[in-house]
Structure 1
Amino acid sequence: MIWRSVVGKLWLTILGLLTVVLLILTILLLQFFEQFNISEAETQLTNNAEIIATSLQEENSPESSQPVIDQIAGTYNSEVMVFIDDNLWYGSGEGEGLAASDIQDSSELGSVSGAREQVTVHDTFSTDSGEDEIFVVGEPFTTSDGREGEVYVYQSLSVIEETTGETKQIILLSAGIAIILTTVFAFFLSTRITAPLRKMRELALNVLKGDFESKVPVVSNDEIGQLGNAFNRMRRELSQNLTALNQEKEQLSRILHSMADGVITFDRGGTMVLTNPPADYFIRLNRLEEKQEARAIPVELTSLFEKAVETEMEQLDEFEVQGRSFAVLVTPLYGNEDVRGAVAVVRDMTEERRHDKLRKDFIANVSHELRTPISMLQGYSEAIVDDIAASEEEKKEIGRIIYDESLRMGRLVNELLDLARMEAGYLKLEKEEEEVTSFFQRVERKFQGLAEESEVQLVLDLHAPEKYAYIDVDRVEQILTNLVHNAIRHTEAGGVITIRAVNGESLHMEVSDTGSGISKEDLPYVFERFYKADKARTRGKGGTGLGLAIVKNIVDAHQGAIVAESEQEKGTTFYIDLPNK
């Protein structure tokens, strides 16, 4: 619609103001011209009446003034009536216009002869054409021979109305021309004003779409030009601010995604606004445990959030979800005056708690492993000192026990040192190409005697499409030594221990036995330090609980993988894959 645009509003405003001004001016001008014409007509009629009266007074006879009267009556578009001694002596409009009787009967005009003074009358009189407004000026006179008379000069107001009508037409024509010129000027002016505004609107929409390169052309130094300059400055600053905000947003997003801790932000109503991957993992675990919806907030976390908002203080708690331990810290976020939400930091404490347990278990296990040999060394040493062993054989037996326990303590200390170096990253591999067949045959011969003593069968199953393997020979032999030695210790007489090896793109090794096996509860922990499935049973067989932990570290150093499978009373199998490069 036209009134919804600046052009239309400006045009209608200017046109409305001009119309009001022209209307008032037209009314005033029409009134002015009407009064002016009436005043001019009155002045003219009065002058004509005075001229005729003067002429009648000065001439010797009234007939001598008749040419003057005829000239005035014909020239000034007026009619003349002259009465001498109340009788009509001259009437230029008699029979066509105003009747002499009407003048004589008029109470107002009658004062001319009665009071002998000039009279001006503006009234409606009857004429041959009907009722008509007549302007009459009466002037008394006295002839040279002493007779009294009156001169009446009159004119119809229709002549004045015609003049006023012509004036009105001229004024209306001028007003129309002024309106047309004003319309053209208003459209021109509004176009000059609105063209930059339309350009700014177009560029504002482009800025809304992300285009910050376009700028408003400034062609003047007026308010429109200043607005264009302000718009261009705003566009530049907005572009810079958005760039800075996007950089900060990207930086914050990368920080949140790279954090190991989960971050969850809440609004005032407790709705999750932002989460990062660790927080999504925490929520997913909680959903699986409590069978909630995908974006449901954990009950414990909701309780902490409510306490934080209510007390406006940090809330800390720790709870378990799906067997994992999580510590949650909820901190309120403040607006101008009150709390506008909260942020929760979720930290997975499972590894920390497991490491704490491992440290405690390590100290307890080391103390436990060392206490027995130390007690035995102390006891048998006291027996020797107190001469409890009477015979040489008893002394030798005590000496052998002391020697065995010292060896056991030495193995424990050496294995602890090896494991500590490995876990600290000091394990350096000396890889070289080794002929696979001779290597495994050497390992088989190494344990053949111990297997025969334990009355178990040791079998080597070797497949070597690739003749050589690129490995640290000593460390791989240490792996097999630990695994085969454990298999022999845990396999009863008559059992079978099998060493399988396939050398191709990788060196695949298996050590399986038909021994007592490992329970499902103990299987996930077999590679941890000092872990023993049956400490009472393994103690008599010389185990320290460090062998498999050392094996795991050696395999990891080779960037390989090791997996254990076992079933109680049916045996255990260890699978090892080492990269052959």
Structure 2
Amino acid sequence: MNPFFKKILKGYIIIILVYFLFLVILTNNYFKKQILQIYISNLKNTCYSASLPITEFLLTKNYLKLNEFINSLKNNLQIRTTIVSPDGIVLFDSHYDKTKMENHSNRAEIIDAKTKGFGYSVRYSSTLRKEMLYVAIPLKDKNDNTFAVLRTSYSIDELYKSINKFIYRILTITFFVCILVLLFSVFLSSYFTKPIEKLINSIKKLSNIELNKKTSFSTTDEFSFLEGSFNEMVEKIGILLSDISFQRDKLKNIFNSLQEAVALINKEGKIVLYNKSFEKLCKITPIENKLYCEVMLSYKFDEIIKKAFSEKKNLTEELNIEEKTYLVSCSSVSEEEIIVLLYDITSYKQLQRIKKEFVSDIVHELKTPLTSIKGFLETLYEEINEPQQKRYIEIAIFNTNRLINIVNDLATLSYLEKLEEEKNLSEVEFEDVNIYVILDVIKNLFETKAKQKNLDFIIDVKTEIKPIKADRFKIEQSLANLVDNAIRYTEKGYVKIKVEQDQFETKIIVEDTGIGIPKEYHKRIFERFFVVDKARSKKTGGTGLGLAIVKHIVNLHRGKIFVESSPNSGSKFIVILPNTPKIS
């Protein structure tokens, strides 16, 4: 007997048992209630029929006739009759000595009869020692006053016995019907489960990749349709598996041909998937299902993986392995796995180093000659009187100053880049910096320059600004670069410095009404030598390095800088500095 057949059969048995139990409870309660109501109605009718002669006998005090009438009810109808006074004293009883009976004023049927005109109750009679049904009505005189209560009662023990016999017969018939239904259910279950059992066996074969074997149910109903659909599905699965196998091999070849090292690592630290490039980096082979810390003997790599799992976000960091430098990129594939890519950036880092050394050498080699050239040009300018020649020397001095500014800015930028790359903050002098003092310095430096262009120079500080931890000189330098740019690229309107502060950050906003910056350049303007308007930059003496310097100063302070601008709508440079940066 297969499990599926057992489940169906068990279901049928449970349904039949529940139905049988429900029928027992429902039949028992229903018949008892219905037959009890019939007996209540009969006793009620008997009460009303007997009330007229009993009332007459009581009012005329014809107790002989009364006894005869009550005894006739007892003998003919097996009904017990009791007459009770309004105060509960038993006046007559057909089955028991009235003098030995209790006061009936607290009986439910007596109370209801006096108050509602009719009452009944079912309870155990301590007098007769059996379960009784009591029905009572009031007896009234000609003035409609209740002078007694007539109560009839009937033993319901016999009633219940009759009901139980009737119910027993019904349940016996029902039981045999249930047995027949159960036998039919066994047959029906077997009929339906045999094709399903065949289907299960076919699915087991399918799981064993036996795709060439087809299923036959030998039926002409819905199972024949299922047979055809299943065999068609098996055929399609075979085609799909072949295609998947081909694609898998293709992806595996591509995966292994990647120069970048790739590995899939689960939460337990095991290497689930990897390519040949990753395997070459490992000290131990084979590496499948081994812990990454066993095969990659790098403390920094261990830190990166743990950080990627804990932060659950994309992570990119540099990693040195022997003499090579790799850019490690971690991305979450799921809650349990991350994919790790290692890009070899050794050549790029060497180029960067060569570029920095070249810039450093250029700065060193050009600084002294340019200073000398400027000195000689200024001396020559003083000694020459001819206006045309003076004009030529002025142009030479202007361009020499521009070259000197570029060299100085390059030196500053190289210095800042070195600090940022090495994360060396020992040369950044963090101290309590009063923003108001810096604003006064900037005002003294640029207010006159702004007035020369008929620009309003505005400092807007509406709330109290507390000192922050920063390098005062570098913050002054970055703010000076931003204000200098704002004045240089603004022809009319104003240049405004606005400062806001909350519990954690200080926001410095340099706003102008100048030419603005197209949105596509918002990120590039912080690159070295990038200028939006090259002609204006040459004319005004800009080096294209000012914003790059500002960006690196802000980064050293663990801050952020961004721009809000559009053409002909001015620009707004926003610098956000932490009040107390994390410098460890």
Larger radius of gyration: 1
**TM tier, smaller:** 0.3 to 0.5
Scaled by the length of structure 2, what TM-score is found? Answer: 0.36
Scaled by the length of structure 1, what TM-score is found? Answer: 0.37
